[in-house]
């Protein structure tokens, strides 16, 4: 496939006239275009159809006090082009509305509704404009507006008045589940419409764990905000931490020393495999193969112990910092890592052989929870769930960061989109990660582990992406004075992928829901923030 | 079937013997930070860098009150790197659970030099709750009932999922919490203990209360992690209430971000009085 190119400024201006105002800043990572009005439907359609672009995220910013407007940002990427393309779109405070793209582009459904909830900007023409990020009993407040104080005390939550789409018909039942679930998992509400065993339709209610994270980013100095980034999604602490630090480094033009980039790469891969191996075990458990899970959780424990040995924390917290990593790579670490990886590799093969030997497991997983590639494309699915359904995306290859440009690795892509193949993607990725880790230990990592600290210049914007183990993590920041932030947008891959679960469960029996859900294993906290 | 047995025999026994024998914790592990209050020359740098205000400094003329709250600590270790006086040291101590929120809070009073550094330690203390003795009698009764076999319902009241990862690990073959007769159950109606994580978001408050009410008496509530104890890095804000005890009576607090499995195990055994019996 040849690399695509985004349209030049002249090209856009010829097509859309005065709507396209000026070319914004450009760097290796991004290219901004300033738009004159809130209606970008034509430009977006042009980018998607003629330039093979994919929409990455949509988010807003309150710039009324500085520039007199709210802004919407539409971020795009293209296959083979490392630059992100960003449309910066003003919304007049008197109008407080913008035309919705969701009808044509379901991938932005929740993100546009977040803008409605958090900024009070109406997405006109949205097919389902109800609240998503704030539950129905929230008062009429918009927390990410600058005139809303983070400590504002709101009336207590009195219960949901949310109306689910009714399921009608003879023998059709609605089964409510959650937010407190039967297992040790995060809270969310699932409303199943079932006809006998098969699921007709699943409705989701998320944001039970919304804790004001994006607002809090605006109220912390940058060095403390790193810990907040690590707490966006507990099992992706290092990925979110790295995505955040990378955004700051790009905004402040801090050059991260090569040794730190290598350490980050190693730890990012360790995070990937400790989560993947746990998921493989959990998928096995959900179809009754608990022995496999016992071995998988033993392997996970082996890896988190290794994490602790090398970083002081089992979940790799407190290791990444702006400019690099907090502690140097010890001379013995290479040997420790190498030995652990060898041991893990051997036992991982045995685990997979065990799973492969179980016909009943395979029988339960194949053809279960199918997400077809065309649906996955329409819904904008990313990460493991996407790659099992033909979506060939991986930030490590598409927008290289850390030391990934020094490694070659295979990105597994399947077309079948069932639970079995979502597990296969994980198995393949663990094996690729093992190769990356082995290669990383072949070279000594010398030099500084962190760039010298210096003040962060205000009013700089930067976008950063990391391929967390779930998929594409995006952080976008605007720096403020005194080493603080004006805005930090966080997009966890889970936000993209919940609609995939809704799609995949249809027609499956309710007893298969846990394993289908587990095969995506999305982060509630990452979604809700 | 043969493959399963073969693999199990080949693996052997992997379960740890903690708490009968001490846990094997690597030297790099960041556990409880300890404070040399006597030798501390200036608490301000540590307070300045602390991401969760677990260390705070209040000055009043030439008098300073330093407060350390392990219930807020995320064990990042920045405080130990901040000052030049090396008064803060990170240890490998992890058995941090307590019945008394006040036990997690240390205070130190100082007289100051004109430049704001600390001249002399006047007093240092642990804050004790007044209700402590009253609560004891109730606890003893609960221990008799729940001490031998315990059913736990875990509730995520807005956590980042970090605590859940470690709670799930309690069920793996390494920590194997079932060897103590402790089970995680699916319904609060079957539970003796609620293990609550997260800062309690506005959106989870009602669900948490309803789950608590659905749990039969007698019951114990355990607040897990910096968020569960104090709101942690999220603190109190428009969407976060700032800790489980803002909503429910809490019997035991387990600090950590997240608490490692042994810390959780220690806290759970403490909550049902199985530690005293052993000692």
A231-287 pLDDT, tens digit each: 999 999 999 999 999 999 999 999 999 999 999 999 999 999 999 999 999 999 999
Are residues A291 and B7, on separate chains, in Cβ contact within 8 Å? yes
Report residues of chain B scoring pLDDT below 50: 133-135, 277-279
Inform me whether the C-beta atom of residue B243 falls under 8 Å from chain A C-beta atoms: no
What does B105-145 look like in DSSP terms, one character per residue? EEEEEEEE-TTS-EEEEEEEEE---TTHHHHHHHHHHHHHH
> Are the beta carbons of B107 and B125 closer than 8 angstroms?
yes
A313 reaches B (C-beta below 8 A): yes
CB distance B158 to A208 below 8 Å: yes
Closest CA to A39 of A106, A124, A113: A124
Report how far residue A24's alpha carbon sits from residue A393's, in angstroms, rounded to the nearest whole number.
27
Instruction: Kindly state the helix (H) or strand (E) to which residue A353 belongs, with its residue range.
Output: helix A333-356
pLDDT at site A494: 94
| Residue that is last in its domain, among B101, B125, B149 | B125
CA–CA dist B212, B74 (Å, integer): 27
Which of B:131-160 have CB within 8 Å of A?
154-160
* Chain B (87-106) residues lying within 8 Å, Cβ to Cβ, of chain A: none
Instruction: Establish if B12 belongs to a structural domain.
Output: no
Looking at residue A3, its pLDDT comes to 58
Q: Number of helices (H) and strands (E), helices first, in chain B?
A: 9, 11
Task: Judge: B203–A135 Cβ closer than 8 Å, yes or no.
Answer: yes
What predicted TM-score, i.e. pTM, was given to this entire model?
Answer: 0.94
Picking from B68, B101, B125, the residue at the C-terminal end of a domain is B125
Q: Where are the alpha helices (DSSP H) in chain B?
A: 2-11, 44-49, 78-82, 132-146, 162-169, 205-214, 225-230, 261-271, 274-278
Taking Cα atoms as reference points, which of A344, A464, A453 lies closest to residue A400?
Answer: A464
Count of structural domains, chain B = 2
Same domain? B163 vs B223: yes
Looking at residue B150, which CATH number applies to its domain?
Answer: 3.40.50.12280
Whether the Cβ atoms of residue A398 and residue A79 lie closer than 8 Å to each other: yes
Residues B267 and B154 placed together within one structural domain of the fold: yes
Per-residue pLDDT of chain A (529 residues; tens, 9 = 90+): 455 788 888 888 888 888 888 888 888 888 899 998 899 999 999 999 888 899 999 999 999 999 999 999 999 999 888 999 999 999 999 999 999 999 989 999 999 999 999 999 999 999 999 998 888 888 999 999 999 999 998 888 777 678 888 888 888 988 888 899 888 999 999 999 999 889 999 999 999 999 999 999 999 999 999 999 999 999 999 999 999 999 999 999 999 999 999 999 999 999 999 999 999 999 999 998 999 999 999 999 999 999 999 999 999 999 999 999 999 988 888 999 999 999 999 999 999 999 999 999 999 999 999 999 999 999 999 999 999 999 999 999 999 999 999 999 999 999 999 999 999 999 999 999 999 999 998 877 788 899 988 889 999 999 999 999 999 999 999 999 999 999 999 999 999 999 999 999 999 998 999 999 999 999 999 999 9
Q: Do the domain assignments include residue B116?
A: yes
**In this structure, are B105 and B208 located in the same domain?**
no
**Distance (Å) from the C-alpha of residue A255 to the closest C-alpha of chain B?**
23
CA distances to A156, A522, B184, B195, B208 from B248, rounded to whole Å, are 15, 29, 20, 12, 9
Q: What is the CA radius of gyration of chain A?
A: 23
Q: Which residues are bridge partners to A466 per DSSP?
A: A473
Task: Kindly report the length of chain A.
Answer: 529
Q: What is the pLDDT of residue A216?
A: 95
Structure confidence at residue A326 (pLDDT): 93
Question: Is there a single domain that holds both residue B113 and residue B135?
Answer: no
Instruction: Note whether B204 contacts A179, CB cutoff 8 Å.
Output: yes
Q: Which of A182, A234, A312 sits opposite B29 (nearest CB)?
A: A312
Contacting A residues, span 39-98, partner chain B, CB-CB under 8 Å: none
Q: Is A104 left (phi over 0), alpha (psi -120 to 50) or beta?
A: alpha
Q: What is the pLDDT of residues B107-141, one digit of tens each?
A: 999 989 888 888 888 888 776 655 554 445 556 66
Residues of A whose CB is below 8 A from B243:
none
**pLDDT of the residue at A498:** 93
- Say whether both B93 and B166 belong to one domain: no
Specify which residues B238 forms β-bridges with: none
Domain of B97, CATH number, reads: 3.30.70
DSSP 8-class letter at B276: H
A417: left (phi over 0), alpha (psi -120 to 50) or beta: left
Could you tell me if B272 and B135 lie in one domain? yes
Q: Is B210 inside a domain boundary?
A: yes
B30 chain-A contacts, CB cut-off 8 A: 312-313, 318
Whether B121 and B139 share a structural domain: no
Touching check for B168 and chain A: CB below 8 Å? yes
ipTM over 0.90: yes
Instruction: Clarify whether residues B168 and B54 are in a common domain.
Output: no
* Best A161, A187, A211, A222 residue to mutate vs chain B (most B CBs within 10 Å): A211
A16-to-A11, A41, A72, A101, A432 alpha-carbon distances in Å: 9, 11, 18, 18, 45
Best residue of B152, B227, B237, B247 to probe chain A, by most A CBs closer than 10 Å = B237
Q: How far apart are CA B131 and CA A441, in angstroms?
A: 56
Tell me if chain A has a CB within 8 Å of the CB of B11: yes
Same domain, residue pair B161 and B259? yes
B145 and B104 in a common domain: no
Contact B201 A301 (CB under 8 A): no
CA dist A426 and A447 (Å) reads 33
Q: What is the pLDDT of residue A486?
A: 94
Predicted confidence at residue B139, as pLDDT, reads 61
Q: For residue B138, what pLDDT is reported?
A: 54
Residues of B in contact with A141 (CB under 8 A): 238
CB A145 within 8 A of CB A62: yes
Tell me which of B202, B230, B244 to substitute to probe the interface with A (most A C-beta atoms closer than 10 Å): B202
Asked if residue B90 and residue B159 are part of one domain, the reply reads no
A 141-170: CB under 8 A from B: 141, 143, 148, 150-154, 156-159
Contacts of B234 in chain A (CB under 8 A): 211-213, 216, 231
- 8 Å CB contact of B51 and A212: no
Residue B191 resides in a domain: yes
Check residue B134 and give its pLDDT: 45
Half-sphere exposure of A42 (CA within 13 A, CB side): 11
Q: Does residue B173 sit in the same domain as residue B243?
A: yes
| The last residue of a domain, from among B125, B157, B180 | B125
User: For residue B214, what are the domain limits?
Assistant: 131-278
């Amino acid at each position: 496939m040849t690399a695509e190119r985004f349209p030049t400024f002249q090209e856009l201006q010829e097509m859309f006239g005065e709507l396209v105002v000026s070319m914004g800043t450009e760097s290796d990572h991004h290219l901004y275009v300033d738009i004159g009005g809130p209606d970008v439907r034509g430009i977006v359609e042009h980018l998607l159809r003629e330039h093979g672009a994919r929409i990455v995220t949509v988010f807003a910013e309150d710039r009324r006090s500085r520039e007199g407007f709210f802004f919407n940002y539409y971020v795009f990427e293209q296959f083979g082009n490392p630059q992100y393309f960003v449309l910066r779109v003003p919304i007049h405070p008197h109008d407080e509305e913008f035309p919705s793209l969701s009808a044509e582009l379901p991938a932005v459904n929740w993100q546009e509704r977040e803008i409605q909830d958090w900024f009070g900007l109406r997405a006109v023409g949205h097919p389902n404009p109800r609240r998503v990020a704030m539950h129905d009993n929230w008062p009429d407040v918009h927390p990410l507006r600058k005139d809303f104080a983070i400590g504002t005390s709101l009336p207590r939550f009195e219960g949901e008045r949310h109306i689910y789409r009714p399921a009608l018909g003879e023998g059709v039942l609605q089964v409510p589940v959650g937010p407190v679930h039967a297992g040790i998992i995060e809270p969310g509400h699932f409303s199943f419409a079932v006809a006998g065993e098969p699921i007709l339709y699943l409705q989701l209610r998320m944001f039970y764990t919304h804790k004001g994270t994006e607002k809090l980013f605006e109220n912390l100095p940058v060095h403390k905000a790193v810990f907040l980034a690590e707490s966006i999604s507990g099992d992706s602490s290092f990925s979110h931490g790295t995505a955040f630090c990378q955004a700051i480094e790009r905004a402040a033009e801090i050059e991260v020393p090569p040794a730190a980039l290598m350490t980050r790469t190693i730890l990012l891969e360790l995070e990937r495999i400790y989560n993947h191996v746990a998921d493989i075990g959990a998928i096995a458990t959900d179809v009754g193969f608990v022995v496999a899970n016992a071995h998988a959780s033993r392997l996970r424990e082996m890896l988190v112990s290794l994490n602790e040995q090398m970083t002081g924390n089992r979940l790799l917290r407190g290791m990444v910092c702006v400019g690099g990593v907090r502690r140097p790579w010890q001379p013995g670490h290479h040997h420790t890592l190498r030995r652990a990886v060898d041991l893990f590799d051997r036992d991982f093969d045995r685990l997979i052989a065990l799973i492969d030997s179980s016909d009943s497991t395979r029988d339960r997983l194949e053809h279960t929870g199918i997400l077809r590639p065309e649906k996955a494309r329409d819904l904008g699915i990313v990460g493991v769930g996407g790659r099992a359904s033909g979506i060939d995306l991986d930030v490590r290859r598409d927008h290289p960061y850390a030391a990934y440009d020094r490694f070659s690795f295979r990105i597994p892509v399947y077309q079948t989109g069932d639970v079995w193949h979502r597990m296969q993607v994980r198995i393949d990725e663990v094996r690729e990660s093992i190769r990356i880790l082995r290669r990383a230990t072949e070279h000594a990592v010398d030099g500084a582990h962190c760039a010298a600290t210096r003040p962060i210049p205000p009013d700089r914007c930067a976008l950063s992406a990391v391929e967390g183990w779930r998929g594409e993590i995006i952080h976008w920041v605007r720096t403020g004075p005194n080493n603080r932030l004006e805005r930090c947008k966080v997009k966890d891959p889970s936000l993209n992928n919940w609609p995939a679960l809704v799609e995949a469960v249809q027609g499956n029996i309710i007893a298969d829901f846990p394993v289908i859900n587990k095969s995506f294993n999305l982060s509630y906290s990452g979604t809700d923030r | 079937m043969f493959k399963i047995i073969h693999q199990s025999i080949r693996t052997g026994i992997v379960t740890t013997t903690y708490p009968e024998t001490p846990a094997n914790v690597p030297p790099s592990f960041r556990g409880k930070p300890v404070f040399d209050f006597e030798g501390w020359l200036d608490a301000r740098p540590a307070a300045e860098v602390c991401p969760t205000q677990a260390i705070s400094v209040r000055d009043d003329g030439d008098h300073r009150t330093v407060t350390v709250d392990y219930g807020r600590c995320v064990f990042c270790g920045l405080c130990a790197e901040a000052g030049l006086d090396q008064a803060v040291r990170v240890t490998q101590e992890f058995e941090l659970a307590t019945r008394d929120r006040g036990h997690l809070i240390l205070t130190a009073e100082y007289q100051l030099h004109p430049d704001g550094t600390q001249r002399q330690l006047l007093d240092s203390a642990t804050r004790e709750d007044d209700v402590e003795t009253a609560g004891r009698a109730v606890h003893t009764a609960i221990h008799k009932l729940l001490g031998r076999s315990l059913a736990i319902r875990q509730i995520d009241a807005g956590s980042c999922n970090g605590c859940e990862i470690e709670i799930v690990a309690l069920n793996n073959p390494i920590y194997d919490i079932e060897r103590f007769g402790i089970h995680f159950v699916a319904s609060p109606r079957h539970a003796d203990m609620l293990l609550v994580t997260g800062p309690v978001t506005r959106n989870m408050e009602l669900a948490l209360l309803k789950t608590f009410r659905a749990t039969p008496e007698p019951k114990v509530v355990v607040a897990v992690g910096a968020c569960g104890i104090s709101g942690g890095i999220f603190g109190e804000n428009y969407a976060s209430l700032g800790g489980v005890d803002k909503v429910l009576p809490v019997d035991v607090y387990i600090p950590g971000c997240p608490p490692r499995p042994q810390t959780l195990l220690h806290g759970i055994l403490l909550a049902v009085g199985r530690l005293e019996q052993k000692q």
